Amino acid sequence: MDFPLLLIIIIGLALIFDFINGFHDAANSIATIVSTKVLTPFQAVAWAALWNFAAFFVAMYIIGEFKIGNTIAKTVNEDFINLEVIFSGLIAAIFWNLLTWWFGIPSSSSHTLIGGFLGAALMHALMLDYHAVAAAHPDYNVFQNLGEAFQKLFTQSVVKYEKVIPIFLFIFMAPIIGMIVSVIITLIIVNISKNTNPHKADSQFKKWQLFSSALFSLGHGLNDAQKVMGIIGAAVIYYHVTMIGGSDPYAMMESSERFKHFSTDYIWVPFVSFLAIGLGTMSGGWKIVKTMGTRITKVTPLEGVSAETAGAITLFLTDHLGIPVSTTHTITGSIIGVGLTKRVSAVRWGVTVSLLWAWILTIPVSAIIAAVTYLLVTAVT
């Protein structure tokens, strides 16, 4: 099958974003295991990358579906998706990811992708409404056209709120769940091992941290690789339904069934999505390691096990629910949780508040960048 050039570019950009996501989020998987000196940075990224990729086989052959990818593909009403929308969203996501990586800000790759997709789709809908108003009222000036177009936009179901609202809620819920679970796990471990020789306990927890970091990296792969898969899926489904149409099987099947068929018909898409994030993790994310591993709170091997296990449990839970979350938010909440078990002042709240602002701003800033990108793309095409 011959894909149009823009669709090929979108697939390429999506995989580039996936790779960038890997090195941007590498610190999430390796920060605690590096800061506790269980592994060297190179060993840690290799270990994390292995389990990022292994998540493909878990999703495909154990879970049997890609719920998060399906959620991402359906955050926007199909009537307001086209290739230019997806392209613009990806450009915005890549720009914001690289910008935050450069400044060492552990923002969410997941939310920048979602924000970009939403922003470009909303601008696409607004432009459709603007041209419709302008055609119906040739006597209107630009501001009158825009005013009425905005009014029409608010009456349309561009965004699928039943998909998007849980994503917004879990910006805050994921780190809170991670924090609560890490507090519980830390307290349980401390009480069980309180009579153990400290040196022996430290040695044991360093071994356990290999297991807990593998679990977190597995959850990271399950969560993040599927988001890119969802974006590619939205583009490929648009191609089948709108650009081919007619008797194409995707055009004839129910909308709810399309992504499931896509994930089996194009099995290479999830495979390379998980591979790309693993390769990205291998390339590292050294600028963010210090923030995640030491600036929030000092972490011991025991606390590393607690934080990573709590983060993994949170990611497995949200994967089961099909809610895309930020692995950055999740592990940050888990690290804060282990800090709280010592004392409230053990958490450097100034750093934490700065991270919170970065998280809150990611979706709206990405949406604005994507909206502007969409205008530029449509102006030159």
> Please, are residues 305 and 209 in contact by the beta-carbon 8 Å criterion?
yes
pLDDT at 298: 58
The pair of three-digit structure tokens given for residue 338, joined into one six-digit string: 């282990």
- pTM of the predicted structure, to 2 decimals: 0.87
The pair of three-digit structure tokens given for residue 31, joined into one six-digit string: 């920060």
Q: Which of 206, 173, 178 is nearest to 310 (CA)?
A: 178
Question: Residue 240 in 3-state DSSP?
Answer: helix
> Please, are residues 89 and 114 in contact by the beta-carbon 8 Å criterion?
no
Residues linked to residue 76 through DSSP beta bridges, in sequence order:
159
**How many residues make up the chain in this entry?**
381
Residue 303 burial by CB count (10 A; 0-12/13-18/19+): exposed, middle or buried? Answer: buried
Residues linked to residue 159 through DSSP beta bridges, in sequence order:
76
What's the rounded Cα separation, in Å, for the pair 220 and 55?
Answer: 8
> Tens digit of pLDDT per residue, the chain (381 long)?
678 899 999 999 999 989 988 877 776 667 677 777 777 777 888 888 899 999 999 999 999 889 999 899 889 988 899 999 999 999 999 998 888 777 766 677 778 889 999 999 999 999 999 999 999 989 999 989 899 999 988 888 899 989 889 988 888 888 899 999 999 998 888 888 777 777 777 778 888 888 988 999 999 899 889 999 999 999 999 999 999 987 888 888 888 899 999 999 999 999 999 999 999 888 765 544 444 444 444 567 787 888 889 999 999 999 999 998 888 778 888 888 887 777 655 455 555 566 667 777 888 999 999 999 999 999 887
pLDDT at 297: 47
Q: What is the separation of C-alpha 75 from the centre of its chain, rounded to a whole number of angstroms?
A: 13
What's the rounded Cα separation, in Å, for the pair 111 and 28?
Answer: 15
Q: Alpha helix locations (H) across the chain?
A: 5-35, 41-57, 67-73, 83-102, 109-136, 142-153, 161-192, 198-238, 249-252, 255-265, 268-282, 286-290, 301-321, 327-340, 349-380
The pair of three-digit structure tokens given for residue 208, joined into one six-digit string: 């356990």
pLDDT at 376: 94
What's the rounded Cα separation, in Å, for the pair 156 and 45?
Answer: 45
> Please, are residues 235 and 266 in contact by the beta-carbon 8 Å criterion?
no
What's the rounded Cα separation, in Å, for the pair 37 and 301?
Answer: 9
Which residue do the tokens 């950009």 mark? 13
Q: What is the DSSP string of 158-194?
A: -B-HHHHHHHHHHHHHHHHHHHHHHHHHHHHHHHHTT
66: left (phi over 0), alpha (psi -120 to 50) or beta: beta
